[in-house]
Structure 1
Amino acid sequence: MDPLDGFGSPRREEAAADSRSGWTRFFSWLECVCVVTFDLELGQAIEVLYPQDVKLTEKEKTSICYLSFPDSYSGCLGDTQFTFRLRQSVGRQSFRDDVYNRDAPATLETAHFFGYVYFRQVKDVSVKRGYFQKSLVLVSRLPYTHLFHSVLQIIAPEFFEKLEPFLEAVCNEIDQWPNPSPGQTLNLPIVGIVLQVRIPSKTDKPGGSPSPLPAPTLLPTIHELDLFKCFQSVLIHLQMLWELMLLGEPLVVMAPSPTVCSETILALVSSISPLKFCCDFRPYFTIHDSEFREYTTRTQAPPNVVLGVTNPFFIKTFQNWPHIVRLGEIKMAGRLRSHCIGFIHNKMCQLQHNKD
């Protein structure tokens, strides 16, 4: 008998907790669904948490609150989607992870929490601050960026109209999904739409995919990003960036929005696939992050981590880091936009401007 499965073991206790809550299949996809709002007295706070009996530490709740809103300097009006990543509390590892990680590609293992955010900020004269600000967040161990952002695009607009009853119905529907078993093609119903996905397996061959089953909506991938879209502004530096990822060098991406910085970080980390990125990475990092002091100390060499930031405060904080990528949007004539890229590598700066 596996000692980890014995009476009173972490596996047995967590399995029992999941069984009592009645959300067994839900937990195989998501840890929880959060609604984060801005409270004039408390600041960012969790307004709704599903399932209600989910166990999050205070540190995890605080991190989710701060990472679920774009930095105030981003000026994100309308709807914004982005991704963050944070450490799980010690001892939280689930028994389901062992089974999943055994068959999943190394790049898709479940050692951290990912937060998939749909943030809405619109003018509202009925609110004291003058703006409605709220985030719908899917928290999961699974690094399925494309899948969960596709789900958010489906459910978030309707949630902001129908609120909690709709969210509860969505969670109950996710609880009917089959478990994410590597190598399986699954149909996932969500508010009248069926998403068909294939869960990657470590035995998959590069470029190979099975014939899809009939389904209204086929997602060609659950985790991959549009790499050309993410890298189009840094193509001239792509080989060097790829080498930095292989070496696990400290690197900061400074961008005008959480969307740009988080997609760029995730694309950089995935650029060395099928190799697993060996260090820590944070698609969206703020001054409120629980690892802020750890990653910004000047008493020792920069840690081997890749960070995505939007706050100008970090320009000075990270000025001694060896590798910095700066991305910024420039309005061109008409409605066209281009990017200004600054790449600082070992104290040598190369600056490229896209001209009209």
Structure 2
Amino acid sequence: MSRFSDDVYNRDAPVTLQRETSHFFGFVYFRQVKDVSVKRGYFQKSLVLVSRLPYTYLFHSLLQIIAPEFFEKLEPCLEAVCNEINQWPLPVPGLSLNLPLMGVVLQVRIPSKTDKPGGSPVRAMTRENLLPAPTVLPTIHELDLFKCFQSVLIHLQMLWELMLLGEPVVVMAPSPTISSETVLALVSCISPLKFWCDFRPYFTIHDSEFREYTTRTQAPPNIVLGVTNPFFIKTFQTWPHIFRLGETKMAGDLPKQVKVKKLSKLKTLDTKPGIYTAYKTFLHKDKILIKRLLKGFQRKRPSEVQSAILRRNLLELTQSFIIPLERYMASLMPLQRSVTPWKTPPQIRPFSQDEFMSTLDLTGPQLTSVLKGDWMGLYRKFFRSPNFDGWYRQRHKEMTQKLESLHLEVICNADLLGWTKDKSEVEIVDLILKLREKLTMRINWSNLIIMTIFLNLKNKARRQQLQVKDGILDKLDAFINSIISSLPVDLQTVLNTH
């Protein structure tokens, strides 16, 4: 993807699905076949797919299609697959895409930030009569939450809080699949809030950060690790939160629920499944949800329905928490009438934690959530987490871009030509400099000939895809050209040189 298309994609995609710049997502298909001719008794081979886009289900489906034939035909298979993928359209949030691959058509729809939270991706798809009939992926990023959490349903409130606060967590699972799915389910349970901390769905002793993460001389980092090696039980004893998962067992007609245990009991390799932590939740358990899910299991309600109920509940819980923050953040935005063409845009007011806390009595989460507890204590701890820092920086960036867009519109709707009539050449050129700065990505200043700052500069508004009204940028370009034409010929020559 080109850098320009990255900006367009990230502008329209939900923050949880935006392209990563500092990390890759790796998806692995592993095959192990008995082979007596091999020293270890098994022939093992893996196929790895790497991307900066967090599309779990899409890449899982790709590997299911590609891997079996790859193990038979090897490189020629990959060459054919790459040729097909090269013909795919770029990902566009909000549009249904038909992706042909090895005789199969995958129909997917990447969610858009304008989608209704919790809406059905299947209903939003564009129906087409295709041959062969497409394989419709109802979602490209969500896991089966109920399957992942069925043994910890009575502790969902704790899991949600730990993820919201970005606490250091180790998931010890019996297999890489369970480890990976559980970690991905955990970080997605605070959606639509993005999990801004690091997470490793499958971490091994061969990872480069192994020594850093297992040291006892410093506090664990804000990260969620998924592991399978029993060796980690001893290594991670100093971590504050450890989920020891086993194979799902049934207690009558219900999945057996693991217990919360003291960290001091995590000592031996045969440690029983459980949540080893001293964490005390700020909010009370949602007993109505737990009862509903357990009753649904008894009634053999389909897992996808159980997952939908669970995801909807977690979504509403996160929204109840984040809406007061969004409302307060919006109040920090300068009034539109304070944006004038003759001054730089006014500044966004700084975020005051005390001021925000004072708004909770009237606009707090108790208005939309039935859960009781210490909401204020939860907010105070959230303010110290990487998730708050990431959320705030993202929202501040969006608001700054909105101010830039408003400023451009105000400039273009002003009588700037009338303003220039009684101004000197220096003042007019200074105005052009400021307007060009609005439209350019960066300024290359020169002490000798200041006018050469216009050479080879890219359009900032188009570069950042600022949301301005149709015709605004063309209008501004026309205005700049009108001003330039009113200046002496020598200045026009410099300004028109590109």
TM over 0.5: yes
Cα displacement (A) at 1:97: 3.1
Partners of 1:330 and 1:339 within 8 A in 2: no
Kindly indicate whether residue 26 of structure 2 is the aligned counterpart of residue 108 of structure 1: no
1: CA distance, partners of 2:3 / 2:38: 41
3-state DSSP class of the match of 1:223? coil
The one-letter amino acid of 1:212's match is T
* Pair 265,188 (structure 1): closer, same or farther in 2 beyond 3 Å: same
* Pair 338,124 (structure 1): closer, same or farther in 2 beyond 3 Å: farther
Cα displacement (A) at 1:332: 7.9
Partners of 2:153 and 2:257 within 8 A in 1: no
1: CA distance, partners of 2:138 / 2:250: 34
* Pair 347,200 (structure 1): closer, same or farther in 2 beyond 3 Å: closer
2: CA distance, partners of 1:200 / 1:211: 10
Kindly indicate whether residue 162 of structure 2 is the aligned counterpart of residue 230 of structure 1: no
Kindly indicate whether residue 173 of structure 2 is the aligned counterpart of residue 255 of structure 1: yes
The one-letter amino acid of 1:302's match is P
Kindly indicate whether residue 213 of structure 2 is the aligned counterpart of residue 213 of structure 1: no
Q: 1:260-271, aligned counterparts within 5 Å?
A: 260-271=178-189
* Pair 260,161 (structure 1): closer, same or farther in 2 beyond 3 Å: same
Comparing 242-251 with 105-114, greater Cα deviation is found at 105-114
Find the counterpart in structure 2 of residue 151 from structure 1: 62
Partners of 1:328 and 1:339 within 8 A in 2: no
**What whole-Å deviation, never above 9, does each CA across 1:32-62 have from its counterpart, x for those lacking one?**
xxxxxxxxxxxxxxxxxxxxxxxxxxxxxxx
Partners of 1:254 and 1:324 within 8 A in 2: yes
2: CA distance, partners of 1:330 / 1:200: 32
* Pair 246,337 (structure 1): closer, same or farther in 2 beyond 3 Å: closer
2: CA distance, partners of 1:312 / 1:97: 41
Which of 112, 115, 119 does residue 201 from structure 1 map onto? Answer: 112
2: CA distance, partners of 1:201 / 1:230: 26
3-state DSSP class of the match of 1:186? strand
3-state DSSP class of the match of 1:329? coil
Find the counterpart in structure 2 of residue 39 from structure 1: none
Cα displacement (A) at 1:208: 4.7
2: CA distance, partners of 1:154 / 1:267: 24
Kindly indicate whether residue 197 of structure 2 is the aligned counterpart of residue 279 of structure 1: yes
The one-letter amino acid of 1:280's match is D
Find the counterpart in structure 1 of residue 33 from structure 2: 122
* Pair 103,211 (structure 1): closer, same or farther in 2 beyond 3 Å: closer
Regions of 4+ moved over 4 Å: 93-96, 330-333, 336-340
3-state DSSP class of the match of 1:308? strand
- Name the one with the larger strand percent: 1
1: CA distance, partners of 2:214 / 2:114: 39
The one-letter amino acid of 1:105's match is P
User: How many equivalent pairs are there?
Assistant: 255
Kindly indicate whether residue 16 of structure 2 is the aligned counterpart of residue 98 of structure 1: no
1: CA distance, partners of 2:62 / 2:170: 29
* Pair 98,323 (structure 1): closer, same or farther in 2 beyond 3 Å: same
The one-letter amino acid of 2:276's match is I
- Per the normalisation by structure 1, the TM-score is 0.67
Partners of 1:116 and 1:139 within 8 A in 2: yes
- Per the normalisation by structure 2, the TM-score is 0.49
Find the counterpart in structure 2 of residue 166 from structure 1: 77
* Pair 182,314 (structure 1): closer, same or farther in 2 beyond 3 Å: same
Q: 1:1-356, aligned counterparts within 5 Å?
A: 28=1, 96-111=5-20, 112-206=23-117, 207-209=119-121, 210-214=124-128, 215=130, 216=133, 217-329=135-247, 341-346=273-278
1: CA distance, partners of 2:277 / 2:150: 19
Comparing 339-348 with 120-129, greater Cα deviation is found at 339-348
Cα displacement (A) at 1:276: 0.3
Cα displacement (A) at 1:221: 0.8
Partners of 1:251 and 1:323 within 8 A in 2: yes
* Pair 219,316 (structure 1): closer, same or farther in 2 beyond 3 Å: same
1: CA distance, partners of 2:77 / 2:190: 40
Partners of 2:173 and 2:246 within 8 A in 1: yes
**What whole-Å deviation, never above 9, does each CA across 1:161-189 have from its counterpart, x for those lacking one?**
12211111111111111001111110000
**What whole-Å deviation, never above 9, does each CA across 1:247-276 have from its counterpart, x for those lacking one?**
111111000111001000000000000000
2: CA distance, partners of 1:159 / 1:277: 34
* Pair 247,347 (structure 1): closer, same or farther in 2 beyond 3 Å: closer
Larger radius of gyration: 2
Cα displacement (A) at 1:345: 1.4
2: CA distance, partners of 1:247 / 1:332: 31
Cα displacement (A) at 1:99: 3.0
Partners of 1:327 and 1:339 within 8 A in 2: no
3-state DSSP class of the match of 2:234? helix
Structure 1 runs not aligned, ≥5 long: 1-27, 29-92, 349-356
2: CA distance, partners of 1:238 / 1:275: 17
